[in-house]
Structure 1
Amino acid sequence: MSTDKKSKDTRFKPGQSGNPAGRPLGARAKALAALDALAEGEMTDIARAMIEKAKEGDTTAGRLILDRAWPMRKGRGITFELPHVSKVDDLPEAIAAVTRQVADGEISPDEGATIISLLEAHRKAIETNEFSDRLAALEERMGKP
C-alpha cells in the first residue's frame, strides 16, 4: 500500500472546472433535447388527443391537462386578526392572538406557525433597529463619529 500523496500539480485550481468544455450550466441533456425535437411538430396533435381522452372520462389525462393549464398554487392568502406590532412589547399579544385563532380553528396550525415565524422575523428587525439606535446614541455620547 502506497502512502505517497498525489502531487499538487494534478489537483484542480480553485474556481476552475474539472471539465471546462463540458455542458454549459442550464443546458438541457441531449436525451431531453432529442425528445423535445421529436415532439415539436406533434404537440398540437398530442394536446388534442389528451383533451379527447379527458372528455371520454380519463381522469389521468384530465389531471395532466389541468395541471398544465392551472398549476397548483404554492400558497394561498389568508385573512386573520393581528394587533399592530411596532415594538417588541407588542409581540406577546400578537402571538396570543395567533394561538387563539389556531385553537378556535379559524386558521390551520401550519398557517399559525408561518405567521409566528413572520412575527419572529419582525422581532429581529425591531431589535436590530433598536440596537442600532442605542449604539448610535452611545457613540454620540462618547464623541465618536
Structure 2
Amino acid sequence: MADELLNSPPRVRGQPFEKGRSGNPAGRRRGSRNRATLAAAVLLEGESEALTRKAVELALAGDPVALRLCIERILPVCRERAVRLALPPIESAEDVSAAMNTVTSALARGALTPGEAERIAIVVETFARAIDTTKRRELAANQLQIFGLDDFYDGDGCDSDESDDCDPGDADEYDPE
C-alpha cells in the first residue's frame, strides 16, 4: 500500500485541466438557472404587483429611469416595419421582371432598406417559381396530349380503353416474351 502511494503520479496544482479543453465539455444543463437569479426570484415572488405599481408611480412622477422602463414594456422595440410598396400584379414571367424593377428602384431611392428589398425579392422569387412550375406542368400536359399519352397516367396503370380486362394486380406478372 505504501508503495502504491509513493508510485502514484504527483497531484497537479494550478491548472489541472489541459489547456484549451473544458473541464465540462457538455456545458451547463439546458434550462438551469443561476443561483443569484433563483435567489432574486424567491425574494420578489409575492412583490411583483407592488413593484410594478411603484415603477408606474415613479414614472408618472418624472423619474426618467422608471419612465424608460415602463415605456419599453408598453411599447417594445419594433424589429420590423410594415413596408408599403406598390408592386405590379405578378401573373407571368414578364411581371416578375417588372416587380423586381420596382423593388430595385425603391431601394435606389432609399424607400427600402437593403434587408427589406431582399425579403421582398424572396417573395417575388417565390412567385416566379410558382409560375415556372405551372408552366412546366402545362407544357408536360400538352406534350402528353400531342403524343396521345394524355390518359396514359390515369393512376391505376391500365389503359383507359381496355379497363374492363385490366387488373392492376397483374402489372408485375407482365412478360414481354
Aligned to 1:90: 95
Could you say if the C-alpha distance between residues 52 and 131 of structure 1 is closer, same or farther in structure 2, counting changes exceeding 3 Å? same
How does 1:107-126 map onto structure 2 within 5 Å?
107-126=112-131
Q: TM-score when scaled to structure 1?
A: 0.63
Aligned to 2:21: none
Shift of 1:108: 2.8
Distance 1:82 1:40 in 2: 52
Residue type matched to 1:144 in 2?
Y
The one of 74, 77, 86 aligned to 2:79: 74
Aligned to 1:65: 70
Larger relative contact order (Cα-Cα within 8 Å, sequence gap ≥ 6) = 1
Could you say if the C-alpha distance between residues 56 and 125 of structure 1 is closer, same or farther in structure 2, counting changes exceeding 3 Å? same
Shift of 1:37: 5.3
Q: TM-score when scaled to structure 2?
A: 0.54
Identity %: 27
CA deviations over 1:71-104 (Å, ceiling 9, x no partner): 2233221211211111112111111111112222
Distance 1:118 1:77 in 2: 15
Could you say if the C-alpha distance between residues 127 and 33 of structure 1 is closer, same or farther in structure 2, counting changes exceeding 3 Å? farther
Matched position secondary structure for 2:51: helix
Give the aligned length.
Answer: 121
Structure 1 vs Structure 2 CA RMSD: 3.0
Could you say if the C-alpha distance between residues 138 and 62 of structure 1 is closer, same or farther in structure 2, counting changes exceeding 3 Å? farther
Could you say if the C-alpha distance between residues 50 and 85 of structure 1 is closer, same or farther in structure 2, counting changes exceeding 3 Å? same
